[in-house]
Amino acid sequence: MDILEFLSNFPPTEKWFFIGVRWLGPDLSFFKALKQIQSGRSIADMSQWGGGERQILAEKISQILHKQLGWRSAIFVPQDVATVAFYGPSFGIIDADIAFDDMVEMLRKDYSMNPTISFWESMENSTLGQLIDGLLALR
């Protein structure tokens, strides 16, 4: 199964770049591939979470990502890169902060969790599976 991950040259780190102009900036066509990968998944793929609390939390976060960021489905797998899932399926989406805020609010309300900034920083390069396992370890 294909996972959601950015290309090695995205996001761009150069000071000057031209968005979407392939010979002057990063090629953004991979967003289409990300959408196809994610929308091609079935509900059976959610079984990779293994059931229990892990899967329940994964489903809640997946619903937020789907609703707020416009992913075509709410199907994410543990191997998906968390920053890709939270970035969204298109370049420059402005709702990424809203999705993160909604997740933090859900964690506070449903799990009485308020992860610290250092926790979020430690998860910067994590997969969704690592993020969810880290969150559950805080309980």
Residues 82-115 have pLDDT tens digits of: 989 998 776 655 556 888 999 999 999 999 999 9
Q: Which of 136, 132, 109, 119 is nearest to 46 (CA)?
A: 132
Segment 41-87, tens digit of pLDDT: 999 999 999 999 999 999 999 999 999 998 999 999 999 999 899 98
Exposure of 133 by Cβ count < 10 A (0-12 exposed, 13-18 middle, 19+ buried)? middle
Model's pTM, two decimal places?
0.82
Instruction: Supply φ then ψ for residue 81, to 5 degrees.
Output: -75, 125
